[in-house]
Structure 1
Amino acid sequence: MRHFVQDLAADQGARVKLRILATTDLHMNILPYDYHADRTVGGWGLSRTAQLIEAARDEAANVILLDNGDCLFGSALGEVHSAVADHQLHPMIRALNHLNYDAMNLGNHDFDQGRSALIQAIQGAGFPVLTANAVLPEEAHQARIAPFTLLQRKVKDALGDIHDLTIGVIGFLPPNSLHQARIATTDILEAARRYVPQMRAQGADVVIALAHSGLGAEAHIPDMENVLFPLSEVEGIDALIGGHTHQVFPAVGEDADSSLNGVPTVMPGFWGSHLGIIDLAIERCNGRWDVRQGSAGLRPVSDETPDDVLAKSSFEALFSDLHNRTREAMQARVGEAEGPLNNYLTLVGGDSATRLVQRAMLDHAQLCQEALGLPDLPILAASAAFKSGGFGGPDYYTALPSGALTQRSLADLYMFPNSFALVKATGAFLRNWLERSCSIFNQVLPGQKAVQLKDDGVPGYIYESVLGLTYEIDLTQSSRFTPSGALRFAEAGRIRSLQYNGRPVKEDDQFLLATTDYRVLGGGNYPIPDPSDILPVAPMDIRDLLTDYVANHGLIAIDAAPIWQFQPVPEASVWFRSSPKGQEAASEYPWLRLDVLDPCDTRGFTCYELAL
C-alpha cells in the first residue's frame, strides 16, 4: 500500500504542484446534443466539459490534460463523419487538439471499426496515443501508437522558479476486447509490471496510469476486465485514471476516500459528464522528485440545458457543419412502428424497445442458419437495454412513438457498434447466462417491503433477457454471481420455470443463441462459450441488421408479452428508479403491479414500487 508523507515542512528542496485533468468514454459526444431525440441536452458533451477544463487550468500553474479512451466512435455524429470522412481530420482528434490534450489512451471501442479505421482516425493527433497491453501490428507502431510516453515539462514551484519534470503516462485497455479488430491483448497487471519499471529507468519522475477499466474486485485474476483495485498496488504508479464502466469515482459531493491503496484515483463518468482532477504535491529531494501528497475529485458538467446547441463555445465554428449534416441524416425514414416502443420498465420485464432488437437478431440468425446449413436447432436472441437511466439521468431511456421509424430511431434502439455473433448453447449454458444477468438484483425475503431492486452503482444495461425462452426470477435466493460478475455461490440459482415453447429446458438441450461479439468474449463478465461453439458468421453490426429488418418488414408490430417475471414473494415488494414517463408506459405492460413511491426524487427520477 502506498502512503504519502504528510509533513512537507520536514523535507527540504523545491516543491511543485502538478494538476492532472482527465476525461474518459467520450464516445464522440463532442456537442451537448441528443441526435436521437433531436434536442439540446444538459449534463454532457465535450464542449461543456471544456468549460470545466478551462476553469481548472486557470487555478493551477502546472497542468496536463489526458483522455482515457473510447473517444473516437459511438455516436451519430461519429457515424456521419465515418460515412463521408475521406481522409479528413477526425472530429474528435480535432477537438482534442483544440483543447491541447497531452496524451490519449485507447479503449476497446476505439477499435470498433477495425485497425485501419483507428489508424486513420488518429492521424493528425497533436499528442501521443497509448496502449501498453494490445499486441499491435507494425502499421500501428508506424502510426506512433506506443505503450507509454514521457512528457518533458517545465514546471513552476511556489516561489516562481522553473524546473524540469518528466511525467510518464501509460495506457491500458480491457483484455480480450479486440476480437473484432483481430488484435491480441495481454493482462493489464502483466503489462504494468513490465513497463512501469522501464518508465522509471528512462527518467519518469511521476507515473500516471490511464486504465480503460473499472474498479472490479480487489483480488487479481488473469485477463481481468475491471482491474483498478489490483492495479493500484503496482509499485511505481503515482496516479490512476479509470473508465470503461461509465461510472464515477469518487462520489461527487461526498466526503469519500479518493484513493485506492493510497493512489489518487478518478473515474470521470462518460460522454464528458465529469472532469477528473488529481492534484499531486511533488518535492525535490536528494536529486530526485518524489510525490508527497495526492488528492482526487470530480467536477460534474451542469445539468442545465445550454441556450445554444453548441454552448456558444469555440466548438461552434469547428463542428457546426458536421452537426447540421448529422441532424439531416438522422431524419431518413426506414419503416413504421404500429405502436410505441420504450424501455422505461426494462428492469421489471416491460421492454418493447429491446424486444424489437431481439426480433431483428433472431431474424438474422435464421438467415445465417439457412445459409450455413446449420442444424435445425431452436434460435434465441439475447440483448439488453443500453439506455437505462443510471448516471445518464431520468431522460436516458429509449422511447419511440408510433409512426415513422427513422435512422434516429434505430440509433436510439441500439447505440453501440457491436457485431452479431451466433453461438451453439446448451440449456446449462443458457441457465448460467441468465444467472449472471439477474445477479444485478438484490435479495428479497418474504414480508420485506420496498427493497431497492438494484444498487445505484450497478449499471442496468448489464441485465439481458433472452427472446425465445420464458422464465421466472426468484429474488428470495442468493445470486450465483456478484453484480460485477464474479462467481460467488456456484450452487446458487434464481432462474425458475425455464421453458422453451412451454416445455422445460433440460441441461443438455441444444440451441442457437444470437448475441454479440462483445458478449462472447466475456464482456460484462458473462459466461464465455467454448471457441468451437462460436459459429463462423459474416461480420455485421447489430445496428445494420436492425435497419435491414425494419426496412424489409415496413410496418413493425411488437408483442410485448413478458419473457420473464419475478416469482411471487409473499407480502414483499421492490422499488426502482425510472423516468417519470414510465407512468404513461405502464399501461402497455398490464401484468406489472406498480405504484409510485416518489414522483420526483433529487435526481429527477420517479421511484416505483413493484409488488412481488
Structure 2
Amino acid sequence: MMSQITLTILETSDVHGNIFPINYGTNELQPLGLAKAATLIKKIQQENDYVITLDNGDVIQGTPLTYHYVKYMIDEPNPMIEVLNYLQYDAAVVGNHEFNYGLPIFKSAVNHSRFPWLSANLLDKADGSPYFGQPYLIKEFGNGLKAAVLGVTTHYIPNWENPEHIQGLDFKDVFETTKQWVKYIREHENPDMLVVSYHGGFENDLKTGEPTEPHTGENQGYRICYEIEGIDVLLTGHQHRQLTEHVNGVLIVQPGFNAQFVGKADITFEKNKGKWEIVGKEAELLPVGSEEEDEHVLKIANKYETKTQEWLDQPIGFIEGDMTITDPLAARIAEHPLVEFINKVQMDALGVKISNTALFNNSATGLPNTVTMRDIVSNYVYPNTLTAIEISGKDMKEALERSASYFQLDEQGEVKVNPAFSEPKPQHYNYDMWEGIQYTINIRNDIGSRIEHLEFEGKPVGMEEKYEVVMNNYRAGGGGEYPMFKDRPVTKSSQIDMTELLANYFLKHKTVKAAVNHNWKVVK
C-alpha cells in the first residue's frame, strides 16, 4: 500500500512593512499585518510535519514604522527581519522595494536574517555570481522528501530605482534565468517538487491568455507557466493581486499585499517505486483579519512602534485655507491645492521651473490645518527622491498624453477612470499633474490626441526645444510606462526623501497657503 503525505507551502508577499493591524494615516484598525498573520502561520507550522514558509519580497519597506526605523533607529535590528526570524521562515525572495532605502540597509537586513535571501537573476557585476549568494533552497524532510525553491526577482528594477541603490548589481531576464536554473535543479538536485518563488506577476489574463499589460518584461508569470517545463508551483507577488489558479498544470498563488492574506498551497505526494510523486495540488488564500495578534510579534515590534507613533504626532506646520481631499477623482480633474503644493516643493527643492507629480492613491485625504508627520506620510506614501531631467517638447507632449489616457467618458458623458489605470491593479500613481506649464486635456479627443494649448511661459512648447523638469525618481526612470523619460540627461537630483522635503518645507515656512493657479484643466 502506498503512503501519502501533504506538504504545505505558506507564502507572504508584498507585506510592505506592515506588522500592526492599523492604517498609520488614521490609526484605525485594519485586517492586516504580520502580527495577525503570525498566529495563522504558527498554527499551521505546529499542526503539520511538512511545511515550507516563504516571503516573496517587498517586506522591509512601506510603512512609517520602517521609514522611522531606517531614519532614527538603524543601530537596532530590523523589526521586519526580527519577526520573520521568530516565525522561522525558510527563505525570502528579493523584491524591488527592498532597495528603496539603499543597499547598505538591505545588506544589513540580509546579514541579520536567519534564512537565505534568494534571487537567481540578480547578479554581481564583478564576477557574475548571484549577488545575494543563493539562487535556490533545498529542504529535505525526514522521510526522504526533497523540495527545491528557486527565487527570482522582476528584472525591471533599474527602470524605477535610484541608480545609487543598485550599484554593482546586474539584473538578468527572469524568464531566461528561470529556464536555466529549473533545468539545472532538475538535473543536479533531482527534487520531488520544484517551486519557483517569483517577485513578479502575470502579463496575461489567466483564463483567456490575452495580454493585460505592455510587454515590458516586468511580469512574466504566464510565459513561465507555459514555456518552462519542470515547475510544480509558481508563487507570485508584486501586482498585489489575490490569485489561486492552475495555469498549464502549474499551481499559482498570489496572496495580495500588506499581509491581509497568507497564501497556502497543499501538495500531496504518494510513494511509487521508492520515489515520491505529486498526486494533488490545491491552494487557498487565508484571511488574517479574524486572527488575534501574536503576542511575541507585538513584543518584538513594540519599541519601534512606540517611537514611530510619537514621531508621527509631532506638529510641524500649518495650512491656511483648505488642503483636504473629499473626492480623489475631482482632485485629478481640476487642480487641487495638495498637488500644487507638492509640485511647488519639488520645484523649490531643485530650483526647477517645471514639475510633475501624482495623487498616488484614493485614500489620500489631503492636509488639515495643523500638519503632523502622520499627515505627510499618509498622503505621500512612497520613499521617492527627486530627479530633474532634460526632455524635449515632444517628450513632454507624449508624457502628458500618457497621463491624459487616465480619463474616459461613461455613457452619460460623465468623467470616469480608464480601467487600464484601475484593473487588475490600481495605478492612480501613473496619472501626473504638471506645474510650470499650461495645458488642457480634452477627453472628447482620442487617446494620444488630447493635449491642447500646451505652453511654457506664455509661448507654445516647441517639440524640438529642451525643457528641465523635476519629478520623482520612479517616473524619471521611465516607471509607469513613461519611456520618454528613460535615459534622458539628469541635470539635478536630491537624495532626501520627499516626505522629508515636505516636512522641511513646513519647518522653514511654518504656514503654507492652500492655493491653485489654474495652469491646467480637463474639458469634455
Q: Where does residue 479 of structure 2 map in the other structure?
A: 523
* Aligned with 1:180 (options 164, 177, 184): 164
Q: Where does residue 399 of structure 2 map in the other structure?
A: 433
Q: 1:102 to 1:440 in 2, by over 3 A?
A: farther
Q: Where does residue 424 of structure 2 map in the other structure?
A: 457
Q: Where does residue 189 of structure 1 map in the other structure?
A: 175
1:365 maps onto 2:350 in alignment: yes
Equivalents in 2 of 1:152, 1:440: separation in Å? 50
Amino acid at match of 2:224: L
Task: Report the secondary structure of 2:111's partner residue.
Answer: coil
- Output the TM-score relative to the length of structure 1: 0.75
Q: CA deviation at 1:524?
A: 2.2
Equivalents in 2 of 1:314, 1:40: separation in Å? 22
Q: Where does residue 127 of structure 1 map in the other structure?
A: 115
1:542 maps onto 2:498 in alignment: yes
Q: Where does residue 309 of structure 2 map in the other structure?
A: 327
Q: 1:245 to 1:462 in 2, by over 3 A?
A: farther
| Alignment gaps of 5+ in structure 2 | none
Q: CA deviation at 1:435?
A: 2.7
Q: 1:469 to 1:55 in 2, by over 3 A?
A: farther
1:68 maps onto 2:49 in alignment: no
Q: 1:443 to 1:14 in 2, by over 3 A?
A: farther
Equivalents in 1 of 2:438, 2:285: separation in Å? 43
Corresponding residue pairs, total: 505
Q: 1:42 to 1:515 in 2, by over 3 A?
A: same
Q: Where does residue 31 of structure 1 map in the other structure?
A: 20
Q: Where does residue 314 of structure 1 map in the other structure?
A: 296
1:20-74 C-alpha deviation (Å, 9 max, x unpaired): 211111121111233333x242122111222332454466552221111111122
Equivalents in 2 of 1:292, 1:172: separation in Å? 29
Task: Report the secondary structure of 2:141's partner residue.
Answer: strand
Q: CA deviation at 1:564?
A: 4.4
Equivalents in 1 of 2:111, 2:147: separation in Å? 25
169-178 or 229-238, larger mean C-alpha shift? 169-178
Amino acid at match of 2:105: A
Q: CA deviation at 1:452?
A: 6.5
Amino acid at match of 1:205: D
Q: Where does residue 186 of structure 2 map in the other structure?
A: 200
Map 1:51-200 to 2 at 5 A.
51-57=39-45, 60-136=48-124, 145-154=133-142, 162-177=143-158, 178=161, 179-181=163-165, 182=167, 183-200=169-186
Equivalents in 2 of 1:221, 1:461: separation in Å? 17
Q: 1:439 to 1:290 in 2, by over 3 A?
A: farther
1:408 maps onto 2:374 in alignment: yes
1:333-377 C-alpha deviation (Å, 9 max, x unpaired): 3222213433443334254333322211111121xx6xxxxxxxx
User: Does the CA contact (< 8 Å) of 1:381 and 1:468 recur in 2?
Assistant: yes
Equivalents in 2 of 1:97, 1:139: separation in Å? 30
Task: Report the secondary structure of 2:15's partner residue.
Answer: coil
User: Does the CA contact (< 8 Å) of 2:96 and 2:157 recur in 1?
Assistant: no
1:146-185 C-alpha deviation (Å, 9 max, x unpaired): 222222234xxxxxxx442233232323424342312331
Q: Where does residue 434 of structure 2 map in the other structure?
A: 466
Task: Report the secondary structure of 1:535's partner residue.
Answer: strand
Equivalents in 2 of 1:499, 1:343: separation in Å? 28
User: Does the CA contact (< 8 Å) of 2:25 and 2:374 recur in 1?
Assistant: yes
- Output the TM-score relative to the length of structure 2: 0.86
Q: 1:92 to 1:508 in 2, by over 3 A?
A: same
Q: Where does residue 238 of structure 1 map in the other structure?
A: 232
Q: 1:286 to 1:69 in 2, by over 3 A?
A: same
Task: Report the secondary structure of 1:346's partner residue.
Answer: coil
User: Does the CA contact (< 8 Å) of 1:76 and 1:326 recur in 2?
Assistant: yes
User: Does the CA contact (< 8 Å) of 2:243 and 2:253 recur in 1?
Assistant: yes
User: Does the CA contact (< 8 Å) of 2:8 and 2:264 recur in 1?
Assistant: yes
Equivalents in 2 of 1:506, 1:90: separation in Å? 50
Aligned-pair identity in percent equals 25
* Aligned with 2:269 (options 278, 282, 285): 282
Equivalents in 1 of 2:231, 2:254: separation in Å? 16
Task: Report the secondary structure of 1:271's partner residue.
Answer: coil
What RMSD over aligned residues (CA atoms) do the two structures have, in Å? 3.1
User: Does the CA contact (< 8 Å) of 1:444 and 1:475 recur in 2?
Assistant: no
User: Does the CA contact (< 8 Å) of 1:19 and 1:64 recur in 2?
Assistant: yes
User: Does the CA contact (< 8 Å) of 2:407 and 2:415 recur in 1?
Assistant: no
Equivalents in 2 of 1:535, 1:451: separation in Å? 36
Q: Where does residue 424 of structure 1 map in the other structure?
A: 390
Q: CA deviation at 1:458?
A: 3.9
1:409-428 C-alpha deviation (Å, 9 max, x unpaired): 22223222122111111222
1:516-571 C-alpha deviation (Å, 9 max, x unpaired): 22222232222243525233535332223222222222211132455544422xxx
Map 1:587-598 to 2 at 5 A.
none
Q: Where does residue 294 of structure 1 map in the other structure?
A: 281
Q: Where does residue 391 of structure 1 map in the other structure?
A: none
Q: CA deviation at 1:239?
A: 1.4
Q: Where does residue 215 of structure 1 map in the other structure?
A: 202
Q: Where does residue 38 of structure 2 map in the other structure?
A: 50
Task: Report the secondary structure of 1:101's partner residue.
Answer: coil
1:267 maps onto 2:254 in alignment: yes
Q: CA deviation at 1:440?
A: 4.2
Q: 1:261 to 1:507 in 2, by over 3 A?
A: farther
Equivalents in 2 of 1:544, 1:285: separation in Å? 61
Amino acid at match of 2:173: D
Equivalents in 2 of 1:276, 1:508: separation in Å? 51
Equivalents in 2 of 1:344, 1:456: separation in Å? 23
Task: Report the secondary structure of 2:493's partner residue.
Answer: coil
Amino acid at match of 1:336: F
Q: 1:199 to 1:336 in 2, by over 3 A?
A: same
